[in-house]
Structure 1
Amino acid sequence: MTAYSDLMDHVRTTQALGSVAGRLGWDQETVMPRGAAPQRAEESAALESVLHARRTDPRIGVWLAGAEPADEVGAAKLREVRRSYERNLKVPAALATEIARVTSMAQGVWAQARSNEDPAAFLPVLAEVVRLRREEGEALADGDDPYDALMQDYEPGAVAADMAAMFDAMRPGLVALRERCLAGAPAPRLSGHFPKEAQLTLAAEIAGAFGYDFARGRIDLAVHPFSSGSGNDVRITTRVDEADPFNCLYSTIHEVGHAAYEQTIDQAHLMTPLGSGVSMGVHESQSRSYENQMGRSEPFCGWLYGRMRDTFGEIGVGSEREFYRAVNAVRTGYIRTEADEVHYNLHVMLRFDLERALMRGELQVDDLEAAWNDRYAADFGQAVDKPSNGFLQDVHWSVGLFGYFPTYSLGNLYAGCLMAAARRDVDGIDDALAKGDPSPATRWMGDRVQRFGGLREPVETIRHATGEAPSAEPLLDYLEAKFGDLYP
């Protein structure tokens, strides 16, 4: 037990320092002065050098050799420590430090380039990020696919070939459903002015209804909404468009799904290898089920329609059903985070193929914008009108998150499985949603998924929660039923 306890003491301090690094990232994307970016890059690099040294400390190997787990939890902790240790040993310290420095700087460059519609200002630093992450992927891959190696940071056990097969299986049905929806009667649109403060007040009310604990969190504004932190400090961000309140409200619900996962993990796992969500695919299953299968459901939309009218007055639609149609309108659009459920996975497929090509050296950064625009026109039938609606729209590549995008679609697939099981197991979900109360469904998620943190591997997490292996069928059945009703 001495080896085990010594190892866990070491890991606890490393986890705490990792939380501090995460807080630096939150600060950078919310309130940090723009002029602080070069200094923040050096701070992030310095902290990463400390973290990398701790994660590759030779004593970890000795402790792992002598540690004896007492139970399933102990065995899972050792599994995660061993995975991290073996992975980090393959990445030179200088490379890990340089990635932290460059990606910290690149995030600010991306934000400014996006604001100015200036791709040329972003491409040089993006080329450096791609070079560094490709080098990391090659170091991790040991001769195998570097993209597969990078994916392990976000979805342990996943491989690109399986993701590509999943997309190939999903694409025909999604395209056919999209064509049927676009051929139908267009959905109504909201109209009016939706003041910023009123949106944020309603967003906070909805966040609380979905279980977000404000005593251990807060809501701020960011260019690209995100959730940050774990345990007892879990922060979310949203964004506001005074002509489109759905952007704020549904971004908030989405990020609350992520945050609720982190806030609900068993406190015994805090500052241990199990103290965060097991993977980004499972994480995304929470945010997508909260946002879409609960938040965009007809019962919840009926409640939200009343709250919208209470808050904003006349909003341009005259009934709960029309409001439900407006919330779930199927329209071809540029922005992934604003995409309807039918189009969303098509956006992810585009990014998956492009970033995989970048990491394999089959696509060069200077050609990325043209490749994006050509692929978007082919998949969505319209031309990209400006860079912020094209390849500059997402923050992910600026901060080096190559291998992350496919987990969004995997999360949709997992969400389909989980919500089908929740509806099988829990009576009255829709009755509660009609009162603005998602708690019957969110409690099920907390009990079956969230409280376990990283105890089980991703696929086993879904299997344990639902009793079945993950499959795309529940998601596709849900989409066909929902949008077949909305666009008969």
Structure 2
Amino acid sequence: MSAFDKLMSFQRDTQALGQVAGRLGWDQETMMPRGASSQRGVEMAAIEAVLHARRMDPQVEEWLETAEAPDEAGAAHLREIRRSFDRAQKVPADLAKKLAQLTSEAQGKWASARADEDVAAFAPVLAEVVALKREEGAALANGGHLYDAMIEDYEHGTTSAQIGEIFDAMRPRLVNLRSAVLERPSPKGLQGEFDEPKQMKLARKVAKAFGYDMNHGRVDKAVHPFSSGSGQDVRITTRTSADDPFNCIYSTIHEVGHACYEQNVDKAYLLTPLGSGVSMGVHESQSRIYENQLGRGRAFAGWLFGQMSEVFGDFGIANADEFYAAVNKVHNGYIRTEADEIQYNLHVMLRFDLERALMSGDLQVSDLETAWNDRFEADFGYAVDKPSNGCLQDVHWSVGLFGYFPTYSLGNVYAGCLNQALRTAVPDLDQRLSKGDTSVATGWLQENLQQHGGLRSPRDTIEHAAGMAPTHEPLLDYLEAKFGEIYGL
């Protein structure tokens, strides 16, 4: 075997162990007994220790020094293995193990604190997570910008300054559009209660309509919807609410976007560094274009109206036009994952600024609830009513995902570019979507983006698919046109 072949064989085992760790995380969120969190933390730490040792094994560096790439994909493999190896070298093994154990335990404490509306019960363990993440960030930054080093884990090649510049450009148009829309009469909402088993049945049907392969996946319930896995085992979760079936349906479509990206990566890349989505921002572009530009578009919403009418009967909406307006209703609310397209990015910007302050030391965990509530009221015009609608609503900080939040809005920006290119390439797209046929849209995304996995950098991945460098303009143009029509602006 050549050095390249030996390296790839070693890497496939490392990737496989990473998938096992991911499966333990999925189980923790869906099926694990509540009292098992402490033991699960030890189990996760043990696997993380093994993974960390493999990622920084001296033999990897020896292979990297002598390996010759056979083709473009081989060169990309070497690039990504080198990037991972260099980063692993900077983080002490005992710190990686501590973080794995602590964040597993913190996740359980967050869930309990959220259920009990008790910030004080979660604050001490969050302070420990923040301290360890700052220690990790300092090691990774090696004298550079600590928060940029964290972003590198999720959107490599992007800095907090670049993100801040994009957000600063987006904010005025979003705020103006939000103000204009909220001055207009609000569309009708759904009426009645919606059987939750029926919601789950419909959610699975919609998942299949978007191309989710149930032979290699499953749909379960969790507090916070997520997608897990890659290749031949990609699982999603959703959640239900008796008075809001849109929560279930659109959370499912969103996670299906993530899952289909993973399922559609070229099978030749299975269990390799290229075998998953290239970044969290690009990943989010898939979930958001599935959920919003496709799923919340007038054409698909018309088909969904018929499906929901068959399942639930009369729910107070007279026709497809009213349903389309209800699907895209702009409304006051606290929860990021339930926010409309206009206000969603404002939620992300709030978190981006707060976690930057936490990582820099300008904000202490003891002051987080107050800082969150003050910023929320300033941005949205009303007060947070309870912690589960405020600083306890997201799981991300409990599991140490600092630097992750801004990728949600980057994903929206990328999705705007992709949607513009898709509609140029497929002029009869809405005619197909009106029949519940998403195949031409999802096929275009698979061919132009998803199948390539991590072959290119995040920005190059979007530019290759959309035919343009990423910019926020298509997203904002789309939002202003769509909501301008719905609200008669």
Instruction: Tell me the SS of whatever aligns to 2:10.
Output: helix
1:326 aligns with 326
Give the CA deviation at 1:427: 3.0
Structure 1, unmatched stretches of 5+, are none
Q: Distance in 1 between matches of 2:209 and 2:413?
A: 25
Q: Distance in 1 between matches of 2:125 and 2:76?
A: 38
1:486 aligns with 486
Q: Answer yes or no: is 1:177 the counterpart of 2:177.
A: yes
1:59 aligns with 59
8 Å Cα contact 1:191/1:316 also seen in 2 = yes
Aligned residue identity for 1:123: A
Q: Distance in 1 between matches of 2:436 and 2:412?
A: 23
Q: Distance in 2 between matches of 1:38 and 1:163?
A: 37
8 Å Cα contact 1:428/1:440 also seen in 2 = no
- Summarize the alignment of residues 196-345 of structure 1 with structure 2, pairs less than 5 Å apart: 196-345=196-345
Q: 1:340-372: per-residue Cα shift (whole Å, max 9, x none)?
A: 000000000000000000001110000000000
Give the CA deviation at 1:487: 1.0
Instruction: Tell me the SS of whatever aligns to 2:384.
Output: coil
Aligned residue identity for 1:14: T
Q: Distance in 1 between matches of 2:68 and 2:307?
A: 55
Q: 1:99-158: per-residue Cα shift (whole Å, max 9, x none)?
A: 000000000100010011011110011001100111000000011111100111110111
Structure 2, unmatched stretches of 5+, are none
Q: Distance in 2 between matches of 1:296 and 1:115?
A: 31
Q: Distance in 2 between matches of 1:65 and 1:168?
A: 43
Give the CA deviation at 1:62: 0.8
Give the CA deviation at 1:288: 0.2
1:434 aligns with 434
1:100 aligns with 100
Q: Distance in 2 between matches of 1:70 and 1:301?
A: 47
Q: Distance in 2 between matches of 1:329 and 1:126?
A: 35
Q: Answer yes or no: is 1:151 the counterpart of 2:147.
A: no
- Which deviates the most, 299-308 or 206-215? 299-308
Q: Answer yes or no: is 1:7 the counterpart of 2:7.
A: yes
1:349 aligns with 349
Q: Answer yes or no: is 1:408 the counterpart of 2:408.
A: yes
CA RMSD of aligned residues (A): 0.6
1:132 aligns with 132
Aligned residue identity for 1:470: P
Give the CA deviation at 1:439: 1.2
Q: Distance in 2 between matches of 1:225 and 1:41?
A: 21
- Summarize the alignment of residues 375-390 of structure 1 with structure 2, pairs less than 5 Å apart: 375-390=375-390
Q: 1:170-199: per-residue Cα shift (whole Å, max 9, x none)?
A: 000000000010001111110011001110
Q: 1:315-346: per-residue Cα shift (whole Å, max 9, x none)?
A: 11111111111110011210000000000000
2:163 aligns with 163
Q: Distance in 1 between matches of 2:70 and 2:6?
A: 15
Instruction: Tell me the SS of whatever aligns to 1:228.
Output: strand
TM-score, normalised by the number of residues in structure 1: 0.99
Aligned residue identity for 1:166: I
- Which deviates the most, 410-419 or 466-475? 466-475
2:38 aligns with 38
Instruction: Tell me the SS of whatever aligns to 2:125.
Output: helix
8 Å Cα contact 1:459/1:470 also seen in 2 = yes
1:86 aligns with 86
Aligned residue identity for 1:411: G
Aligned residue identity for 1:64: L
Aligned residue identity for 1:149: A
Q: Distance in 2 between matches of 1:22 and 1:62?
A: 28
Aligned residue identity for 1:436: G
1:116 aligns with 116
Q: 1:60-110: per-residue Cα shift (whole Å, max 9, x none)?
A: 111111011011000000000000000000000000000000000000100
1:459 aligns with 459
How many matched pairs? 488
Q: 1:276-324: per-residue Cα shift (whole Å, max 9, x none)?
A: 0000000000000000000000111111111111100101111111111
Instruction: Tell me the SS of whatever aligns to 1:235.
Output: strand
Give the CA deviation at 1:391: 0.4
Q: Distance in 1 between matches of 2:476 and 2:134?
A: 34
Q: Which runs of 4+ in 1 moved over 2 A?
A: none
Instruction: Tell me the SS of whatever aligns to 1:398.
Output: helix
Q: Distance in 2 between matches of 1:467 and 1:206?
A: 30
Q: Distance in 2 between matches of 1:20 and 1:109?
A: 23
Q: Distance in 1 between matches of 2:37 and 2:167?
A: 38
Q: Distance in 1 between matches of 2:433 and 2:201?
A: 20
Q: Distance in 2 between matches of 1:404 and 1:109?
A: 20
